[in-house]
Structure 1
């Protein structure tokens, strides 16, 4: 395998080490290759569904966290933000709420049955839903509306998807901490129970002064916490390549840890020896799929989901916030938020995926 020079910070010590001994000492997720990035079996299994959950007038619906209840009804929790004219969802940092929809099937119709998370004092955004035993667990971006407050992570639990929901008394359970990889930012959480029965929250982190998002994890022995950051954070980072990632969705399946990430700035091209010279955070944004045996050290990624243009033949716009809908312990649908529609986003059928 040939390692290629990307022309990014070519004189840096990091690049020299990466290009000369990547396969020996660097994280597998960082290894450069002259081979095009492989499309994963997961990506090949995805079949276009449809766009759902249009917002009411004056609002912007964003993303979907789906789950079935015990009766087989489909519940979706999603962010809803007052529309800010030409700036669209610009109020998400201060005015986002979490709505709750229910349908008898993925085809709908969907009924808005409530707004379980709304406050004048904080914003609730980008939820992710799980079930642990008899308890439903919702994690979300939690941010005070006070000037200068930083993005953090909250949790709430309930015995029923219809509530009542109880916020963790220690919210925010993960918050930016000076001198750490999340000093500037901790948000967009994804929750799982690991091989040892411990509780993990993977999340988007940023260090002070950085312009690049990374992925970190905090682990707890008890569901309610405390959640302690792992000493090897950040676990996945392309900051040294000046590339950006976000929106992790992590899951533990068939004794393997997986993570789907949004590729904001052509990480796939950079790792494959054909980087876009001026990659911007808008536009394409396909997904990457990572695998790991321990959930700490991650393999070189493969391509996961594609774009709305590919699936629906429409004008390209940003697809973000991947979430899986599980049925009987197996992944059934992938849900994605979308910037270029009036709906919260769209779903894709996961058809016949078998992990390799």
Structure 2
């Protein structure tokens, strides 16, 4: 069944059907947890990429540990670290911080390559009181740098009266079918408690990035549910998006909404498909929980990223809140 996700309650007509597992989800094979944080720090998430020699690079968020509040400093003190390894199993070597500042936080990076340039997008937020989550970009000719921040950072910022008026964050970058540049991101309107997915598009890599008039593209606010952490990609002439099902959207779409849905990434992820990257079909499950794969106590699993090899998806990386490591990876085997 084709079911386009729209803001109107009519999208509820696509419910009453149990959520199905995607072929992508069925292809996933458990790997292991990696990148433990050094003492006094919290590692969060992994944005992986191979260089031209086949060495694996990972960019991730590192946050000073805040005792019982754990990641509480992420909005003011997060930095982006750079790791390398010869294989996904490791061992990993920490090369150092790519972005660190007393004036702003750098968080939740995503890495891509466009032509001969590497593109890093990330959550960008000033430490000034009252500042809102925004999106920044940096580019480099080598994964070892030097990195140059876009002079217009933040390239996407909250705009009053729009779907991102409260914040714009957690970006995912891709080059579309027409060769334009898209950044999908988590957005929230002023006064709302529910996260939605929006997109900004540019003709040039450096921007300017203009919000689509169709925003928000995906929203479950009318169900009082939400999703976040979009990882969007263009593959086999199709647009895909993996998200974290933050508040059990799956049960609501299946016609049996859970009564105790709580935010926090404790549930499986969702996989969306689209022919144009603007209008999206009803999702299927994309990945399961840490408890499912590793038999551990259920905890927050977020921040999906794919490691690509020779143009094909090889591994899915996920952040995990319940471990000392940044997260874990899953092997993608024979996804068709």
- TM-score scaled by length of structure 2: 0.97
What per-residue deviation string (whole Å, max 9, x for no partner) do you get for residues 234-268 of structure 1? 00000010001100000000100000010011100
Query: In 2, are the aligned partners of 1:202 and 1:218 still within 8 Å (CA)?
Result: yes
For residue 217 of structure 2, the aligned residue among 235, 247, 254 is: 235
Instruction: Using the TM superposition, give the Cα deviation of residue 283 of structure 1 relative to its aligned residue in structure 2, in angstroms.
Output: 5.8
Matched position secondary structure for 2:192: coil
For residue 97 of structure 1, the aligned residue among 48, 69, 79 is: 79
Q: 1:213 to 1:168 in 2, by over 3 A?
A: same
Separation in structure 1 between the aligned mates of residue 271 and residue 265 of structure 2, nearest angstrom: 19
Equivalent residue for 1:148?
A: 130
Alignment of 1:162-173 (within 5 A): 162-173=144-155
Matched position secondary structure for 2:187: strand
**Are residues 1:113 and 2:99 paired?**
no
**Are residues 1:192 and 2:182 paired?**
no
For residue 349 of structure 1, the aligned residue among 305, 328, 331 is: 331
Matched position secondary structure for 1:233: coil
Matched position secondary structure for 2:20: coil
Equivalent residue for 2:157?
A: 175
Query: In 2, are the aligned partners of 1:31 and 1:300 still within 8 Å (CA)?
Result: no
**Are residues 1:126 and 2:108 paired?**
yes
For residue 68 of structure 2, the aligned residue among 86, 92, 111 is: 86
Matched position secondary structure for 1:269: helix
Query: In 1, are the aligned partners of 2:244 and 2:265 still within 8 Å (CA)?
Result: no
Instruction: Using the TM superposition, give the Cα deviation of residue 31 of structure 1 relative to its aligned residue in structure 2, in angstroms.
Output: 4.2
Separation in structure 1 between the aligned mates of residue 180 and residue 13 of structure 2, nearest angstrom: 30
**Are residues 1:38 and 2:20 paired?**
yes
What per-residue deviation string (whole Å, max 9, x for no partner) do you get for residues 88-140 of structure 1? 00000000000000000011100001211000000000000000000000000
Equivalent residue for 1:63?
A: 45
Query: In 1, are the aligned partners of 2:265 and 2:302 still within 8 Å (CA)?
Result: no
Separation in structure 2 between the aligned mates of residue 283 and residue 344 of structure 1, nearest angstrom: 15
Matched position secondary structure for 2:291: helix
What value does the CA root-mean-square deviation take over the aligned residues? 1.5
Query: In 2, are the aligned partners of 1:58 and 1:82 still within 8 Å (CA)?
Result: yes
Query: In 1, are the aligned partners of 2:117 and 2:141 still within 8 Å (CA)?
Result: yes
Equivalent residue for 1:279?
A: 261
Instruction: Using the TM superposition, give the Cα deviation of residue 282 of structure 1 relative to its aligned residue in structure 2, in angstroms.
Output: 3.0
Equivalent residue for 2:142?
A: 160
Equivalent residue for 1:139?
A: 121
Report the more deviating stretch, 282-291 or 89-98: 282-291
Separation in structure 2 between the aligned mates of residue 143 and residue 285 of structure 1, nearest angstrom: 28
Q: Over alpha carbons, which structure has the higher Rg?
A: 1
Instruction: Using the TM superposition, give the Cα deviation of residue 32 of structure 1 relative to its aligned residue in structure 2, in angstroms.
Output: 3.1
Separation in structure 1 between the aligned mates of residue 73 and residue 142 of structure 2, nearest angstrom: 30
- TM-score scaled by length of structure 1: 0.92
Matched position secondary structure for 1:249: strand
Give the unaligned 5+ runs of structure 2. none
What per-residue deviation string (whole Å, max 9, x for no partner) do you get for residues 46-70 of structure 1? 0000000000000000000000000
Task: Kindly report structure 1 stretches of 4+ aligned residues shifted beyond 6 Å.
Answer: none
Separation in structure 2 between the aligned mates of residue 98 and residue 282 of structure 1, nearest angstrom: 22
